Amino acid sequence: MAQYCMVIDLQKCAGCGACGIACKTENNTPDRKNGQTFNWADYVIKMEGRFPDVSFAAIPVLCNHCSNAACVEACPVEPKAMFKTPEGITMHNDERCIGCRSCQIACPYSAEDIEAEKAEYSVISFNFDGEDVQSAYTSKAALIPGGTSAGAEIAKKTGGLPPYKTDYSHPEYEAVRRAGVTEKCYLCHHRLMVNEKPWCVKSCPSGARVVGDKNDPSSEVSKLLAKYPSMVLKPEEGTKPNVYYIRNFKV
């Protein structure tokens, strides 16, 4: 059985943010709302030490697609809105989601988001009522009073809601999620279904991200994991993440 994972080479990652921009354009995620980020492909910048002995690291973060996913266990509906695919991807069904945010609370990588409505990075996000990605482009109010056109006018002229929408179809999640549901990275499953790489992987200028089947010894991810020692985030939680980090970058 295949087991998808992502390997991120920190020696190649310079924290340019291309992955975040690529993810946002591919998946039509909303802007920051209510103090919460909506970046499925986020990253943390860490600097340690004392000048001149200072180390720098750009650590990309996303849903870890855990084998023991706490978010799946916590989902109260049946069949579950948050579930695992046969290939190990943690998937979300928008239609079954009741917006209880139990998945967000249970996730050890997102729990702080709930308590403070902000976090060092975002993993599972929640679309608050009335503040989904479409809201800015349904308003007929001028963007600048007495000046430029309204969001609704822009959407009408471009023929898209939102105007920059990437339109794709998937049986579990929508190209633009409605308000009142949780959302997260799905490793661009809509792209994997047609044998295309996730957009963050394809867009990384340094090739720091690799996605593949870690149960296939001939896959690139398996070769990287065999060649280099790897780490995962919060291994003490016992969730068995499937996002691995290799090497490091220091200046």
Q: How far is 30 from 203, CA to CA, in rounded Å?
A: 20
3-17 average pLDDT score = 93
Domain limits of the chain? 4-246
Which letter does DSSP use for residue 109 in this model?
Answer: T
Side-chain-side CA neighbours of residue 65 (13 Å): 26
Fold classification of 4-246 (topology level): Alpha-Beta Plaits (3.30.70)
pLDDT at residue number 140: 82
Q: Name beta bridge partners: 243.
A: 6
Question: How big is the CA angle at 43 (ends 41 and 49), to the nearest 5 degrees?
Answer: 170
Report which of residues 13 and 111 the model is more confident about. Answer: 13
**pLDDT tens figures, 131-142:** 455 666 777 888
pLDDT at residue number 220: 98
